[in-house]
Chain A
């Protein structure tokens, strides 16, 4: 069940704009309650829906293509060797 009042509203009563809500969602800085509210909001806000899909597609591309693989094994060995020589 989606929350009825806007959980993005700040304690000072300031109501966020669509863009402000969207940024928090894309930046993954929201609570589950806020996420639920926003997904309900997108159901009747086409600009948010379109922008959300593009931004999330970019985020997923970044995560799948830019995580760069593992650190070479020799770095780990070299670090441990140097640490051991510091403590010896």
Chain B
């Protein structure tokens, strides 16, 4: 698997440029969107993307040409976000993620929050409702939705990007989808839909 420690490669300057331009740069729009969805700030997303690409170039010999560049870059960006951005940012009263996950993993909560939504109400959500609902999720739940639904990564790739077991990817996605539905259900209610009908 490409994201595991690959033996150190040796590239000429010309090869490095080719890899960078042909394998890394095509993902810059996805990377920017990922950065934006994590930080919820366009300037921070810009810094995060720039930092990721500079790191990718600096450590290019850890990347094996022709393998999964997108997943490799996403992993660097996610690590930069956790190690640099999150430490710098002043997130007041940051919730302990493990506590959140343990809470939402309980079956009782699952039963209570599995919302009943109707397709008709979703079809009328033409504005920012879905974006606001996604942005309002805890960052760890938001991340799995982005990786799966917007970037179409496979479970195994998500597990490597996030450094978590595949089973955790699956359960986190399941909880994230339920939380998203819960948010959308409250939007639908304000739009006059009775979702229990």
Contacts and interface: CB of A to CB of B under 8 A. Distances in A.
Contacts of B29: 69-71
A79 interface: yes
Contacts, number: 90
Interface residues of B, number: 43
A87 to B, nearest CB: 6
Contact of B54 (A63, A72, A79): A79
Interface stretch (A3-11, A32-40, A53-61): A53-61
A40 to B, nearest CB: 21
Interface string A44-69: 00000000011101110111011111
Nearest to A70: B29
A75 B131 contact: no
Q: Is the interface of A mostly helix, strand, loop or mixed?
A: helix
Interface of A: 23, 26-29, 53-55, 57-59, 61-63, 65-72, 75-76, 78-79, 82-83, 86-87
Contacts of A75: 28, 32, 46, 49-50
Contacts of B152: 28
Interface of B: 13, 16, 20, 25, 28-29, 31-33, 36-37, 46, 49-50, 53-54, 57-58, 117-119, 122-123, 125, 128, 130-131, 134, 145-146, 148-150, 152, 154-155, 170, 173-174, 177, 180-181, 184
Nearest to B53: A79
A55 B122 CA distance: 10
B167 to A, nearest CB: 12
Given A59-B149, A67-B150, 13 more contacts: A54-B119, A55-B177, A57-B122, A58-B177, A65-B128, A66-B134, A66-B150, A68-B33, A71-B29, A71-B49, A79-B53, A82-B50, A86-B58
